[in-house]
Amino acid sequence: MYPFITSSDLVGVTPEIILTITALCILSLEMIRFSRASINSLISFLGLLMAGLVILSGTRNPGTLFGGMLELNYFSIFFDVLYLAIGLLTIIFSQRYLEKKGTECPGEYPALILFSVIGMMLMTRANDLVILFLGLELLSLSLYVLVGFLYHNQLSNEASLKYLLLGAFSTGFFLFGAALTYGATGTTNYVEIALAFSTGSILSNVYFSLGIGLMLIGFAFKVALVPFHMWSPDVYQGAPTPITGFLCTAPKAAGFGALIKLFITAFPEVYPDWQNLFWILAAITMSVGNFSALIQSNVKRMLAFSSISHAGYLVLGILVFNFNGISAVLFYFVVYSAMNLGAFSIVSI
C-alpha cells in the first residue's frame, strides 16, 4: 500500500514546517513571559530567512505531494519567495509603528503574520479544493485579528468587524461553490476535475457552472474586484498601516495566484466561456477604483482605491491566459508589492 505521507512530502513542506515552529516558539516565549519585541522580531526574521533559504536552495524537486493534494512547481516557488519577503518587511516596519501608537508588539503579532504566510503558501501550492480552503481560512483568520490589533482605536475595531463579517460571507460563497463542483464531478482534485469535464463524466453542467461562478465570487471578494470591493476602503483605513500594506500586497497576490492555478489546472476548457465576465470585471474595477481614488481626502483610503484599480489591471493579464500573460502578472506583482510597501511605510512614519 502506498503511504500517504512520505519523506519527500515532508521535505516539500519544509518551509511551512519552519514557519510553524518559529510561530510556536514566539507564542511559547509569550506564554512564559520571556517575550520582548526585539526578540520576537529577531526570531521571526530568522524563521522567514531560513524558509527562504530552503526554497531557494533547490533541494526540493517539483512534483505533487501528499497524494496529489499539493503541487510544488516554479509558479508556487515564485509566490512563496514573494510572501516571505513581504512578511519580513511588514514585521520590520511594524515595530516602530506600534511603538509610536503606544501599543507593544506582543508575540501574537509576528506569529499571526507567519501563520498568514503559511496560509498563502498553501493557497498557491494547492492542487485540491480542500487544501485551497484550508489555506484561505488560515490566512483570513490571521488577518481578522491583525486588522483589529489597535484595540484601543475605534476605527481599527470597526475595520476588523467589517472584515470578519464580509470575509465570512465571501468564504461561504467559495465553500458552496466548491461543494457544487464536487457534487458535479465527484472529486475536489484539480486534475481530476479537468479530466471529468474533458471526458464528459460531469453529473450536472448547471451545478458545475454554478460552482465555478460562486468560487469566482469568493475570489473576487478576497482580491477586491468591483462590485465585491465594499470592505476594502474601510478596512484599509482602520487597520494598522503596516498591516494595510501587507493586506494590499501578499493576500492579493495569494488570491490571484490561487485563481490562476485553479483555472489553468481545473477549468482550462471552460475558461473561454468566462472570458466576457472577466472583461467586464476588469473594466468596472479599473474605472471605479481610479475615479474613486481621485475624490479621497484620506491617504490610506486613496491607496485602497488605487489597490482596487490595480486588481483590474491584473485581471487583464489573466485574460490573456498564456505564458506571456501569466509572466506579466508575476512581474507586475513584484513591482506592485515594492511600490505599495514603500508607500505604506512612508505613511506609517
Give the integer Cα–Cα distance in Å for 190 and 180: 14
Q: Where are the alpha helices (DSSP H) in 32-128?
A: 37-57, 74-100, 108-125
Average pLDDT over residues 207-216: 88
In the Cβ-directed half-sphere of 245, how many Cα atoms lie within 13 Å?
25
Q: Decide if 134 is inside a domain.
A: yes
**What is the percent of the chain where pLDDT is above 90?**
22
Q: Decide if 320 is inside a domain.
A: yes
Q: Which residue is it, cell 521571526?
A: 44
Q: Decide if 188 is inside a domain.
A: yes
In terms of DSSP bridges, do strands 63-65 and 70-72 run parallel, antiparallel, or are they unpaired? antiparallel
Instruction: Answer yes or no: pTM beyond 0.85.
Output: yes
Pick the more confident residue, 224 or 135. 135
- Amino acid type, 89: L
Pick the more confident residue, 323 or 37. 323
Q: Which residues on adjacent β-strands are paired with residue 70?
A: 65, 126
What is the 8-class DSSP label of residue 60?
A: S
pLDDT tens for residues 306-343? 888 888 888 888 888 778 888 888 999 999 998 888 88
Q: Decide if 40 is inside a domain.
A: yes
Contact 82, 334 (CB under 8 A): yes
Question: Nearest CA to 59 among 38, 77, 36?
Answer: 77
Q: Decide if 199 is inside a domain.
A: yes
Give the integer Cα–Cα distance in Å for 125 and 76: 6
Owning domain of residue 173: 7-347
**How many domains is the chain partitioned into structurally?**
1
Q: Decide if 1 is inside a domain.
A: no
Q: What is the CA radius of gyration of the chain?
A: 20
Question: Nearest CA to 47 among 84, 65, 22?
Answer: 22
Contact 342, 303 (CB under 8 A): no
Q: What angle do CA 255, 89, 149 make, to 5 degrees?
A: 75
Q: Which residue is it, cell 487583464?
A: 316
Q: Decide if 2 is inside a domain.
A: no
pLDDT at 102 over 70: no
DSSP, residue by residue, 251-307: HHHHHHHHHHHHHHHT-TTTHHHHHHHHHHHHHHHHHHHHHHHHT--SHHHHHHHHH
Q: Decide if 127 is inside a domain.
A: yes
What's the confidence (pLDDT) of residue 35? 62
- Highest average pLDDT, of 48-62, 71-85, 293-307, comes from 71-85
Give the integer Cα–Cα distance in Å for 206 and 8: 39
